[in-house]
Amino acid sequence: MLLKDKIALVTGSTNNIGLGIARAFAREGAKVMIHSRHAEEAAKIARDLNGDSFAADLSRAEQVEALFDHIKSKHRRLDILVNSAAVQPSRNGILELPLEEWNQALAVNLTGYFLTTQHAAKIMKEHGGGSIINISAASGERASPGRAAYSVSKGGDLCPDQAGCGGSRPI
């Protein structure tokens, strides 16, 4: 069990790659914090994985703060953060894309990653370090038709070490 006794938060972990990562971490012994905007769905998966859950909208700073307050009060530390939550706006072309959809994609896919990385790194630093993994997408490097907001937001996903991506750096 590679992750025995580790505390891991996987954002967007009620479906797709986030759910797969959460399941793999749980199999390897981690206590996984299941995150979603939907509390009931997150709680069900957390029960299945013997983990914990919390519902939060990553585009809202106060909800991200509440998520990390929960982690600190219940688990006292965080060893792993995987940012996999993502919003994909409608497949409208850039000329038809509503500003609200553009703003929501940037708020969740970019600002949400910033906020969770910032909170996680502070907790990890207090406890000797940890790992932060930000899931991006190939469309972050090259756009596809009807995916302008998604491509821009995924292309901007940051490296938590502030020194560039391409390897592990201590927090």
Residues marked active site are found at 150
Number of neighbouring beta carbons within 10 Å of residue 138: 9
Closest-CA residue to 148 (of 78, 101, 80): 101
Stated as kind and residue range, the H or E segment containing 151 is: helix 148-155
The token pair that represents 14 in the structure block:
């009620």
Q: Classify residue 99 by burial, with Cβ atoms within 10 Å: 0-12, 13-18, 19+.
A: exposed
Cβ-proximal residues to 138 (8 Å cutoff; 6+ apart), any chain:
none
- How many residues are given for the chain? 171
